[in-house]
Chains A and B, each alone.
Chain A
């Protein structure tokens, strides 16, 4: 049974369709990410759930009830904004207490819940600070506490970590995940950062140009991308042009001098996509020449010029000797490590 359901939701601004045919059902307690480049409609979708925008078509239901009929102030959703949107004239405690005040929670209970919420995000003792006297990370925590203290049915996060520096962002990711696991609030995160989406979510919704490209677990979307867009957007990938050779039995998939038994159901020109860390150097396979070799501590990054175009290879630093720049190598991978898509038309 879906907890939050988006049913063929679409949004148009004038003649421009920003979100189209968006259907998704979210289970209770699930952590979902909307992932895509800027302008793909992910924030628009979030704003429709929040009620700041009305969908042009389609329905949004929460526990079977039509959410679009409810005024945004009455939806009871917790929202963390990219800019945090804290109230600068109020202290941290007053910011967090605001939502409870609007709900008419009695003063003593309010104070208790505010203290608990601030303690949960690690800001015990910061009650009387004003937001402008806090660091970006602290402001972010206040915003999170403010959204969670009202016990929202759904927590909406609009690129909440994008204004933090890399190290802090990683810490906040871990913390956010822990808090979400502990209190079990259904959460939707909007992000353009694939690492963030992968490390936080139960499922990722990859979006491009207003449409859903793929919905799946982080592993699914990474290992078996449904489209070229998904494979490119989620981490680095190598796309090689190949063909299915039906003149031999059994039919073979050929990319340059690399060949393997062809997967069923495909014919003609195909695209073979392989993640850089799944490619090894072997005695047979795609011939290539190493252009640059970059040492990155725990791994080596090779940029190669192969017979099917440029290729990136990542090898774990296992202490063994690695080929040098200018070496001729053969690139090889296991058939289960690639995904093959028909090229051109479809």
Chain B
């Protein structure tokens, strides 16, 4: 091959990926960079946005406990949602995996259901079920004797966690499901033949092998819950804000775009750090299972 041809073939992958790359740069990287830039600009009630470089917005976020509270709430809700989906989703996936063919596909559809419905419609559905002290959920729980007085769901973190967990469940179930597919179909029989009971099999054999699936599901659920907008906006209302609704309000209600941009940037950076960090930890810890 001549040098020119070699050079041409080296350029081919770049040429072929150029359209997608340009789209990626145009609609993601440039707006992202602009948002980061915006967070350093000044803003005033009467002067609007001033394209200067100051740390005013970042200083405000760092010092005003209002913002700290908002971010802690965001991550608290995301962590609780993640725990709830893991506790319910992992057994759900395991049971689903043991079902026979027709039931398996039916229940898989039930689990994937939330993804097929618009997030707004689904959350409004939860709002109807929660609605005040006479909501369906409270009536049911009380008639079952699970609780004595109604739990406030609307405009509370509890309600947000429940509604978010429902939305996020498919991601956890699918992730654990994928890990279960990698299991040797005879592995439970092997453990049983060596004298292990059902509890030991799940604790010692199944759990360690699906843990990577649970953890990668947890990363997806955590980052989606922490950046969720529609569910916190509807269930939490304007009173119980999280980082995403806070940024929205700064942009569209206060019109303080630079402050909103700073909130959005901080949320993004925090999420990236958490996700990349935990992913690295998981990969190191479960190197043998991932292999």
Residues of A whose CB lies within 8 Å of any CB of B are: 50, 52, 72-79, 81-89, 98-99, 102-103, 130, 132-133, 146-147, 150
Contacts of A82 in B (CB 8 A): 186
Contacts of A74 in B (CB 8 A): 195
Which of B184, B192, B205 lies in contact with A72, CB distance below 8 A? B192
Interchain CB contact under 8 A, A98 and B191: yes
Categorize the interface residue count of chain B. Answer: 20 to 34
CA distance A342 to B204 in the complex (A): 58
What's the least CB distance linking A234 to chain B, in Å? 28
CA distance A102 to B200 in the complex (A): 9
What's the least CB distance linking B178 to chain A, in Å? 16
Instruction: Kindly supply a per-residue 1/0 record for chain B positions 182-224, scoring 1 wherever the CB is within 8 Å of any chain A CB and 0 otherwise.
Output: 0011110111111111001000110011000000000000000
Which of B186, B197, B204, B289 lies in contact with A88, CB distance below 8 A? B289
Interchain CB contact under 8 A, A102 and B288: no
CA distance A88 to B289 in the complex (A): 6
Closest to B287 in A: A130
Any A CB within 8 A of the CB of B98: no
Interchain CB contact under 8 A, B289 and A89: yes
Known: A52-B192, A150-B194; 8 extra A-B contacts, CB below 8 A, are A73-B197, A74-B195, A79-B189, A79-B190, A83-B186, A85-B184, A130-B288, A132-B291
Closest to B196 in A: A102
Q: Which of B193, B196, B204, B286 has the most CB of A within 10 A?
A: B193
Interchain CB contact under 8 A, B288 and A132: yes
Contacts of B187 in A (CB 8 A): 85, 87
Interchain CB contact under 8 A, A102 and B194: yes
Interchain CB contact under 8 A, A85 and B190: yes
Q: Which of A73, A82, A130 has the most CB of B within 10 A?
A: A73
Q: Which of B205, B208, B288 has the most CB of A within 10 A?
A: B288
- The interface residues of chain B, by DSSP majority, are classed as helix
Which B residues from 249 to 291 make CB contacts under 8 A with A? 286, 288-289, 291
Closest to B200 in A: A102
Contacts of A79 in B (CB 8 A): 189-190, 193
Q: Which of B184, B195, B288 has the most CB of A within 10 A?
A: B195
What's the least CB distance linking A138 to chain B, in Å? 15
Interchain CB contact under 8 A, A103 and B193: no
**Nearest 10 pairs of A and B residues by beta carbon:** A99-B194, A102-B195, A85-B190, A85-B186, A89-B208, A132-B291, A130-B288, A79-B193, A81-B186, A85-B184
Interchain CB contact under 8 A, B193 and A88: no
Given A73-B195, A74-B195, A89-B208, answer yes or no on A133-B190 (Cβ-Cβ < 8 Å).
no
Closest to B291 in A: A132
Closest to A143 in B: B190
Contacts of A146 in B (CB 8 A): 194
Interchain CB contact under 8 A, B209 and A88: yes
CA distance A146 to B196 in the complex (A): 14
What's the least CB distance linking B26 to chain A, in Å? 43
Number of A-B residue pairs with CB-CB distance less than 8 Å in the complex they form: 72
Interchain CB contact under 8 A, B189 and A52: yes
CA distance A52 to B190 in the complex (A): 10
CA distance A210 to B198 in the complex (A): 31
Closest to A74 in B: B195
CA distance A147 to B192 in the complex (A): 12
CA distance A103 to B194 in the complex (A): 9
CA distance A73 to B196 in the complex (A): 6
Which of B189, B196, B286, B291 lies in contact with A85, CB distance below 8 A? B189
What's the least CB distance linking B195 to chain A, in Å? 4
Contacts of A81 in B (CB 8 A): 184, 186, 189-190
Closest to A104 in B: B195
Interchain CB contact under 8 A, A50 and B189: yes
Contacts of A132 in B (CB 8 A): 288, 291
Which of B189, B195, B204, B286 lies in contact with A103, CB distance below 8 A? B195
What's the least CB distance linking A17 to chain B, in Å? 21
Interchain CB contact under 8 A, B209 and A50: no
Q: Which of A87, A99, A130, A147 has the most CB of B within 10 A?
A: A87
Given A89-B289, A130-B288, A132-B291, answer yes or no on A83-B184 (Cβ-Cβ < 8 Å).
yes
What's the least CB distance linking B176 to chain A, in Å? 16
Contacts of B191 in A (CB 8 A): 87, 98
5 of the cross-chain contacts (CB-CB < 8 Å) are: A73-B192, A78-B193, A83-B185, A85-B189, A87-B190
Instruction: Kindly supply a per-residue 1/0 record for chain B positions 140-172, scoring 1 wherever the CB is within 8 Å of any chain A CB and 0 otherwise.
Output: 000000000000000000000000000000000
What's the least CB distance linking B212 to chain A, in Å? 10
CA distance A72 to B209 in the complex (A): 23
Contacts of A98 in B (CB 8 A): 191, 194, 196, 204
Interchain CB contact under 8 A, A73 and B193: yes
Q: Which of B192, B205, B291 has the most CB of A within 10 A?
A: B192
Q: Which of B184, B190, B208, B288 has the most CB of A within 10 A?
A: B190
CA distance A52 to B186 in the complex (A): 10
Which of A50, A84, A86 lies in contact with B193, CB distance below 8 A? A50
What's the least CB distance linking A44 to chain B, in Å? 14
CA distance A132 to B192 in the complex (A): 22
What's the least CB distance linking A67 to chain B, in Å? 13
Closest to A103 in B: B195
What's the least CB distance linking A47 to chain B, in Å? 8
CA distance A87 to B286 in the complex (A): 13
Interchain CB contact under 8 A, A88 and B195: no
Closest to A88 in B: B289
Which B residues from 88 to 126 make CB contacts under 8 A with A? none
What's the least CB distance linking A166 to chain B, in Å? 24
Closest to A152 in B: B193
What's the least CB distance linking B71 to chain A, in Å? 36
Contacts of B190 in A (CB 8 A): 79, 81, 85-87
